[in-house]
A and B are shown apart, each in its own frame.
Chain A
Amino acid sequence: MTQLLNDDIIEQIREVFNGLKNPVHLMFFGSKESCPYCDDTRQLVEEVAAISDLLSVEVYDMEADSDLAVRYNVDKAPGLVIAAKEGDQITDFGVRLSGIPSGHEFTSLIQDILLVSSRDSGLNPQTRAFLKSLDKPVLLQVFVTPT
């Protein structure tokens, strides 16, 4: 299989990943149903995860692992959960990518990994206080295009 990331890009990411502070666990959900970008996305995520020892990746299937997909609220393939990991303990911060993170969105993948690794949302205190007070789930869907 041809690598998606060339050596220059890998070296750049390795430098950025020097800023990783804590382990990050990537949960990839693919599908055997029509999913033209599943294979490329899985490969991309695996290549990124291989760059740092602080990153781990697990590959799941939306249908075969439907209980897990439901638990993590993943309803699109390719779907990616970017979670924190301490030992065997996975902590979900609600960060998801749906679709292939290519083009500009590849940067979003790398930034999301750094953010989850920092364990700090960077939000201001008022925002945090309000979000903590939420008693009903809030779903933010940010629509983006790769170019």
Chain B
Amino acid sequence: MIQAEMVEATEFPELTMRHSVSGVPQTTINAGKAHVVGAVPEQNLLAEIQRVAAK
């Protein structure tokens, strides 16, 4: 149910622009339903995934 993809931003500029990536790492959940900037603790990322999944 879960897929984690590391995207090399400079090679995929369109996708990077679409998600307004300004700093790395940035984690985009479900193609833009949420964005998490920086390397955050597991709890914070989980909270964002839960928020998206509850929609």
Instruction: Show the binding face of A for B, using Cβ within 8 Å.
Output: 36-37, 73, 76, 94-101, 105, 108, 112, 123-124, 126-127, 130-131, 134-146
* Cβ-defined contact, A138 with B29, below 8 A: yes
* Cβ-defined contact, A139 with B30, below 8 A: yes
* Cβ-defined contact, B7 with A105, below 8 A: no
**Bound Cα distance from A101 to B6, whole angstroms:** 9
**Bound Cα distance from A126 to B49, whole angstroms:** 13
* Cβ-defined contact, B9 with A73, below 8 A: no
* Cβ-defined contact, B1 with A136, below 8 A: yes
A19 shortest CB reach to chain B, Å: 21
Determine which of B1, B7, B27 lies in contact with A76 in the assembled complex, contact meaning CB atoms within 8 Å.
B7
* Cβ-defined contact, A76 with B24, below 8 A: no
Determine which of B2, B8, B28, B46 lies in contact with A100 in the assembled complex, contact meaning CB atoms within 8 Å.
B8
Q: Closest 4 interchain pairs by CB?
A: A99-B8, A94-B3, A96-B5, A99-B11
Q: Which of A97, A99, A126, A142 has the most CB of B within 10 A?
A: A142
Chain B: CB-nearest residue to A108: B6
In addition to A99-B12, A112-B6, A140-B5, 10 A-B residue pairs with Cβ atoms within 8 Å of each other are A98-B7, A98-B11, A99-B6, A105-B8, A124-B42, A138-B52, A141-B5, A142-B26, A143-B28, A145-B24
Q: A99 — which chain B residues lie within 8 A by C-beta?
A: 6-12
**Bound Cα distance from A24 to B5, whole angstroms:** 17
**Bound Cα distance from A146 to B25, whole angstroms:** 11
Instruction: Mark each residue of chain B from 33 to 55: 1 if its CB lies under 8 Å from any CB of chain A, else 0.
Output: 00000000010011001101100
Instruction: Mark each residue of chain B from 7 to 23: 1 if its CB lies under 8 Å from any CB of chain A, else 0.
Output: 11111100110010100
A125 shortest CB reach to chain B, Å: 11
What are some 30 contacts across the A-B interface (CB < 8 A)? A76-B12, A94-B2, A94-B3, A95-B4, A96-B5, A97-B5, A97-B6, A98-B8, A99-B11, A123-B42, A126-B46, A127-B46, A136-B1, A137-B2, A137-B3, A138-B2, A138-B3, A138-B29, A138-B30, A139-B5, A139-B29, A140-B2, A140-B4, A141-B27, A143-B9, A143-B25, A143-B26, A144-B6, A144-B25, A145-B24
